[in-house]
Chains A and B, each alone.
Chain A
Amino acid sequence: SQQGEEDPQALSIQEGENATMNCSYKTSINNLQWYRQNSGRGLVHLILIRSNEREKHSGRLRVTLDTSKKSSSLLITASRAADTASYFCATCNSGGGSNYKLTFGKGTLLTVNP
């Protein structure tokens, strides 16, 4: 079953607006990651936030993590048409031994209209 569940499933905004995507999960995690995927392409790692961190920034990206609510949010500020893509959260937990497993949510399809 999916660990992460993003909402909304689809989001359409105008260029320059902010986009917020949320992710909820069910079990304990080591860290949570956000990825971007352009249609038909591989995944691009955006940001990793550890379970003991609450907020992290990278350029126009801001990620929050609330382990008590088992939720995370990704904020993209001043969006651009080039930000149009699917965004996935992925929770990382131990897969046994030294292996860690990433479990992906269903993703949010973000469309930024010029």
Chain B
Amino acid sequence: GAVVSQHPSWVICKSGTSVKIECRSLDFQATTMFWYRQFPKQSLMLMATSNEGSKATYEQGVEKDKFLINHASLTLSTLTVTSAHPEDSSFYICSASGQGGSPGELFFGEGSRLTVL
């Protein structure tokens, strides 16, 4: 199946700093990318949907100035957690869909665990 690479896998940062997480589709063009957040033993919560070249659409309750999403190319989307605080510590997972797939057929990255001290 299609491969989605997410980097970094783990990141620890100080409170107040910004952290960037990258999501790359390695062998297909990702027209749409999704960013999810998962707390321990919880489900995945959709944060935002981004189409290449367009502004991301954020879910209700997700601060777009806090979680900056850029989808500048068909193979790369980035999530930047700005001025991170301990409550932002979570597991962030990206997924991507490409043209020609079934509706909702997504390929997931391995996730990035963010710990804010």
Contacts and interface: CB of A to CB of B under 8 A. Distances in A.
A78 interface: no
B6 interface: yes
B102 A48 contact: yes
Contacts, number: 66
Residue of A94, A100, A106 most packed against chain B (CB within 10 A): A100
State the majority secondary structure of interface residues on B. Answer: strand
Residue of A50, A88, A99, A104 most packed against chain B (CB within 10 A): A99
Given A40-B91, A45-B1, A102 B46 contact: yes
A45 B4 CA distance: 13
Interface in A76-96: 88, 90, 92, 94-95
Interface residues of B, number: 29
State the majority secondary structure of interface residues on A. Answer: strand
Nearest to B106: A102
A100 B42 contact: no
Interface stretch (B12-20, B68-76, B82-90, B107-115): B107-115
Interface of A: 2, 30-31, 33, 35, 40-45, 48, 50, 88, 90, 92, 94-95, 99-107, 109
